Structure 1
């Protein structure tokens, strides 16, 4: 029996910090982690090598998972990683509704094909088209503050950088690749919904990217992980029909495998892309594949396999 009073406090990770930054879309929670062998203020030991940096959209959903992965890699592989998560201050939800506009590009005509609700009607609770504003926030505000003020280690800004996004975040990752291909060395677009808004990414943005005569001194790599599709699921003998349908509803859209593999094939023939990898996690659905994709993508990035 413990006799003294216990003071319970919120759990936190060492060598992390967070702050709020704003643009015309509202407030964003920026969470930053740096290597454990640095001090608590983010100062590295003398002559330490500059880390690689991993950026995450939907950071409030994936930041702590990413930090855990990178710190295990730091322990096992002597890697150095800074993690920057860009997300939302919404303690009651994993995914904020604002990710819809923040992570999707603006259409040419301002019109959008709206997803259907469970009744087969077009949803009216969604908006899209603010990816440029979100990207500008990352590259002109967040990167400047992290690299120049928060962690002003010489050489950190110029070291390898990766971007991770899942689902709508996968749309944003591809948008970033097509519009700012020199910004990140590696783009991890997990389960990207390439057919969003009448395949705007692949029918409009990808051709423009490929046709652009801009040459890249160091072309980025692209990793496209995704989960098992609805068409791959089999109802188990002891599985109720309702349970099977619920499990099936969470699987990847039937288009995912075809779309990802077709995109990968086209990108492999593009001189602006250094390397393209795909991976299907057959036992994961559209939601659960985010964590496994993040782990595999981070490990491959830190090992410089992508």
Structure 2
């Protein structure tokens, strides 16, 4: 569990950091840690919109949000009845990063900090980027602290460098593929549209030089923990 290890490693240099509980949500592992069920959980709901480009996969992000709030959170509190929780964060990478953005827009009251790494904002022709107004339409309860939002991506996710043994054809294929994802452009678009929001107490955009989609997840998680603890 990368999140748990990140917290443990901090103790050697941050002895005053608060105690924490890391909660990972998944399914029983079969032949792969990536399951089709998770595609359902992370897929935003698009009422009245064209069907998402994943045939046969229903939209389950709202159900997943309700599961976190109505099942996971009460379970954790029942398992640790003597713990007083002062703050909570949600982290996700890739399609999980898209879910974090969706949860922020729909339920900004759900967590104190939202950490999104390499979000798949290209999903459904940039559907999420066309619905930034959701955050403005949400009314935060009077006793709710405004959330903080940290967005991260790697510069190689949109502009890959050629690998030493890579053929011209393979390199061109990767460049064309990553261009369709437009990770850098989409993250900057999201940041620019949200940075002035009155619903956020802070927003940070971080580009990791020399990082691609695979390597970014762990680094963004570690730095995201620093950001979360600092708030």
Q: TM-score, normalised by structure 1?
A: 0.67
Greater RCO structure (CA 8 Å; 6+ sep):
2
Q: In 1, are the aligned partners of 2:154 and 2:207 still within 8 Å (CA)?
A: yes
* Residue 233 to residue 195, structure 1, CA distance change in 2 (3 Å): closer
RMSD: 2.4
Structure 2: 5+ residue stretches without partners: none
Q: State the alpha-carbon separation in 2 of the partners of residues 195 and 256 from structure 1.
A: 8
Structure with the bigger percentage of strand = 1
Q: 1: distance between equivalents of 2:113 and 2:229? A: 10
Q: How does 1:152-167 map to 2 (within 5 A)?
A: 152-156=81-85, 159-167=86-94
Separation in structure 1 between the aligned mates of residue 67 and residue 177 of structure 2, nearest angstrom: 32
1:209 matched to which residue of 2?
135
Residue 282 of structure 1 pairs with residue 209 of structure 2: yes
Structure-2 change in CA distance of 1:201 and 1:127 (3 Å): same
User: CA-to-partner distance for each residue in 1:16-36, whole Å, 9 max, x for gaps?
Assistant: xxxxxxxxxxxxxxxxxxxxx
1:67 aligns to 2:1 (yes or no):
no
Q: Distance in 2 between matches of 1:69 and 1:236?
A: 30
Match of 2:71 in 1: 141
Query: Which residues of structure 1 form unaligned runs of 5+?
Result: 1-63, 115-122
After TM superposition, give the deviation of residue 155 of structure 1 in Å: 1.7
1:225–1:293 CA contact under 8 A, matched in 2: yes
Q: Is the 8 A contact 2:113 2:228 kept in 1?
A: yes
Identify the match of residue 196 of structure 1 among 103, 123, 134: 123
Q: Quote the Cα distance in structure 2 between the aligned partners of 1:211 and 1:188.
A: 21
1:151 to 80, 98, 107: 80
Query: TM-score, normalized by length of structure 2?
Result: 0.87
Q: What is the match of residue 266 of structure 1? A: 193
Residues 85 and 150 (structure 1), Cα distance of their counterparts in 2 relative to 1, 3 Å cut = same
Higher gyration radius (CA)? 1
**Does the aligned pair in 1 maintain the 2:109–2:140 contact within 8 Å?**
no
- What is the CA distance between 1:72 and its match in structure 2? 1.2
Q: CA deviation at 1:177?
A: 0.8
